[in-house]
Amino acid sequence: MLNELNALESKVAQLIALCRNLRSENDQLREQLSAAENERSRLAERMASASARLEQIAAQLPESKS
């Protein structure tokens, strides 16, 4: 009986350690996701700005004669 309780205690301790590790990993992944979303947003803004500048430049080009 004592051996079974010791084995159970060991398994519970392992489960607790696993839960802590998974919680820590989850927190890190959330931070990485947030950083990636911020970077994506920043890049989308830069692309929109570049696209607007290209449209302005294209509008200033003389029309081609066909």
Range of the domain at 34: 1-56
Buried b (16+ CB within 10 A) or exposed e, 41-56: eeeeeeeeeeeeeeee
Instruction: Report helix, strand or coil for 45.
Output: helix
Residue 7 lies in a domain: yes
What are 35's two structure tokens? 């950083």
Residue 32 lies in a domain: yes
pTM of this prediction exceeds 0.95: no
Residue 30 lies in a domain: yes
Residue 39 lies in a domain: yes
Over residues 53-66, the mean pLDDT reads: 88
Query: Does residue 54 surpass a pLDDT of 90?
Result: yes
pLDDT in tens, 16-48: 999 999 999 999 999 999 999 999 999 999 999
What are 42's two structure tokens? 């920043």
Specify the number of domains making up the chain. 1
